[in-house]
Structure 1
Amino acid sequence: MARDRGRLRRSRGVNFAKMLGTGTGKNFTPSDADLTRWGALVVIDESALESIDSLAVIRSWNKRALHEVRLVLDPISVHGLWSGSNPFNWSVTPAPDSQIVAITRARIKWSQNFRFWRAVPPVSADLHRSPGLIAAIGIGEAPIGLQGTFSLWENGKVLRDFAYKGQAHQRAIEATAQYNWYAEELFSRFAVRNVRGKL
């Protein structure tokens, strides 16, 4: 899949695309890598969405895949940049009971890698104890330095409770400000429009 990033980005209607390795979501560290699961994050024109399955690159992946999961998401809020831009530059107001996806992504300063990884396990433990969490996996454009998370929640309230009331997460936010360990960061929330398959 990594060799297909150019084909995907050149596909009709695609405005932004990233090929992503994944982690199991147990601890969100490099040892968590899952070599059996890959992902693609795609920002595509609404007019091209219905035909995305007919793209040659998507068809080739589906031929090789044992399972496929696809989520269609609408941005709610985005803070920060991904590769120098904000690809999610529009927003919707979700229904109160709408499932929510949170995507975080960061380019970690090399000098801060070890400090960052030491802060991850307590946050991961809090995350997996959080009421309302449906699924969580690690995502990344590279095994080290370009890291992120993908989490699916029952609704926006349970996500906000984790983000703003969890002690480990609050300590990590404070450490981020103190040590400035990201060269670039993006935090985003999305309303789930449609899900095909099961995470």
Structure 2
Amino acid sequence: MPATCKPPLVSITIIKYPKQYIFFALLAMAIHRLPLLVNRGIYFWKLLGCGKGGGFSRQPDWRQWAVLTSGDQIDFSKISHEQLLKKLYGNFIAGWYRFFRCGVSTILLEPVSGHGCWDGKQPFGSLAPGAVPVAPVAVLTRATIRAGKIKRFWEHMDEVSHQLHRVPGLISSLSIGEIPFLKQATFSIWNSSEDMHAFAYGTVRHINVVQKTREEKWYTEELFVRFKVLVEYRSVL
């Protein structure tokens, strides 16, 4: 990522395909790599599958997919959702979503604090570990699970994921991932940092799982980032 005093603009777009176009959703995971790869305004990108439910999930949602990018700041004031998609990802990807009549949600974010890496990189810049964003707070938690620890990981994650939906202060959550079972992430939005901390550090099951990840070394790599939510778009293209 280029050296700059400005934080990158982070986007996460969630795409819901009509049921009859699931094949083209899978195809997009291959052919959308090229326009993202040659986009000079993007430093880091990931095409992601989605799971059913909001926490770590082993059940794929074949209709829902996501793209996450970190890149140059753009002026997103006074533009439509489709114009934003063209600015972020280019005409080809934006046109693809329109052609297949996808339901699309895009959230623009500013990284505030965090630690860890993604594929050996710091895609959201050098972040202070303890800074607190203004409400609402978005959180990305991501990990690469050791092959020998997959069974242990999923034995405990189902309970935590089910509990996540019952905690106060959670606005929404999304299960995303690059490789089923191995490279998993959750993206969640909370009413406040206090609500997020109450779940992370005040829930016995979650605390126990975090301790086990350290003691048993479940992950080869992990990332935790808090974001300020800038704006959210929703539309059917």
**TM-score relative to the length of structure 1:** 0.90
Matched residue, 2:46: 18
Superposition pairs for residues 6-155 of structure 1, below 5 Å?
Answer: 6-25=34-53, 28-30=56-58, 32-47=59-74, 52-54=84-86, 55=90, 56-89=92-125, 94-95=133-134, 98-155=135-192
The farther-off stretch of 172-181 and 152-161 is 152-161
Letter in 1 for 2:62: L
Whether 1:189 aligns to 2:216 is: no
Q: Percent identity?
A: 33
Aligned length: 195
* Counterparts of 2:208 and 2:188, CA distance in 1: 20
Letter in 1 for 2:111: P
Unaligned runs of 5+ in 2: 1-27, 78-82
In the superposition, relative to structure 1, how do residues 27 and 192 fare at CA in structure 2: closer, same or farther (>3 Å)? closer
In the superposition, relative to structure 1, how do residues 186 and 19 fare at CA in structure 2: closer, same or farther (>3 Å)? same
Runs of 4+ in 1 over 3 A off after TM superposition: 47-52, 90-93
In the superposition, relative to structure 1, how do residues 123 and 184 fare at CA in structure 2: closer, same or farther (>3 Å)? same
Letter in 1 for 2:93: V
Unaligned runs of 5+ in 1: none
* Counterparts of 1:123 and 1:134, CA distance in 2: 17
* Counterparts of 1:87 and 1:93, CA distance in 2: 19
Offset of residue 140 of structure 1: 0.3
Alpha-carbon RMSD across the aligned residues, in angstroms, is: 2.0
CA contact (8 A) 2:117 2:222 kept: yes
* Counterparts of 1:76 and 1:191, CA distance in 2: 7
Offset of residue 94 of structure 1: 2.8
Aligned with 1:144: secondary structure?
Answer: coil
In the superposition, relative to structure 1, how do residues 100 and 26 fare at CA in structure 2: closer, same or farther (>3 Å)? closer
CA contact (8 A) 1:28 1:124 kept: yes
Whether 1:2 aligns to 2:39 is: no
**TM-score relative to the length of structure 2:** 0.76
Letter in 2 for 1:118: E
- Which protein has the larger Cα radius of gyration, Structure 1 or Structure 2? 2
Cα shift readout 1:136-186 (whole Å, capped 9, x = no counterpart):
121000112011111111121111111111111100110011100101111
Aligned with 2:36: secondary structure?
Answer: helix
Offset of residue 134 of structure 1: 1.2
